[in-house]
Structure 1
Amino acid sequence: MLNGLGDDASELLTKAPLTPASALRSSRVIPAAGGIYAFWFSDIPPLVSATGTLNRDGHRLLYVGIAPKAPSRAGKVSSSTLRTRLRTHVRGRIERSTL
């Protein structure tokens, strides 16, 4: 663990980032499982403040998302996986993406 973070969160800070194109090129790169993911930006979008964000190799961490591994407290099981969440963000309709 890194700074008391869980293994998944620590991996976001230490693993080499992928570009959207390379991440989606092969279905083996992004697992069809729950977990967390992050978007690092080299160019900060207009009107977005990067104050207080993490900086790694000239990239700023501006978004962290989850694909739940476990059911919610209400017992709802998510059908989303890391692969489906990332595809929605990168390939889907813009209104379906937080970004």
Structure 2
Amino acid sequence: MIIRFTILVDYVEENFLLFKNILLEWEGHLLFKSMTNIASEMLYNRAKTEKDLISIKINQSKYPYVISEIYAVSFMTIIQNWISKKYDYDKEDLFEIFNYIIA
């Protein structure tokens, strides 16, 4: 799972100015929602085959898609705050945070 988020964070970093301009502008909620939907689908689909803590929680829930969305919003909020410089971390710190969450 962390590999997929690594790819996402790398992509955001490579296109940082674009994401900053779009995500932090007044229409940024559209990109945030789209990114959250993608992340939620990734989590939901991954939970079908993996046994990490998040996948177990998703699978054990009566509402697995909602749980996937909650985690996705959390991940995307971290990325959005990183883009807006609310968090003064480098991308390796983000990977460590994501690893901690899913471990």
- Asked whether the two chains share a fold, i.e. TM above 0.5, the reply is no
Greater share of residues in strand: 1
Q: Answer 1 or 2: higher relative contact order, Cα 8 Å, separation at least 6.
A: 2
Greater share of residues in helix: 2
- TM-score scaled by length of structure 1: 0.35
- TM-score scaled by length of structure 2: 0.34
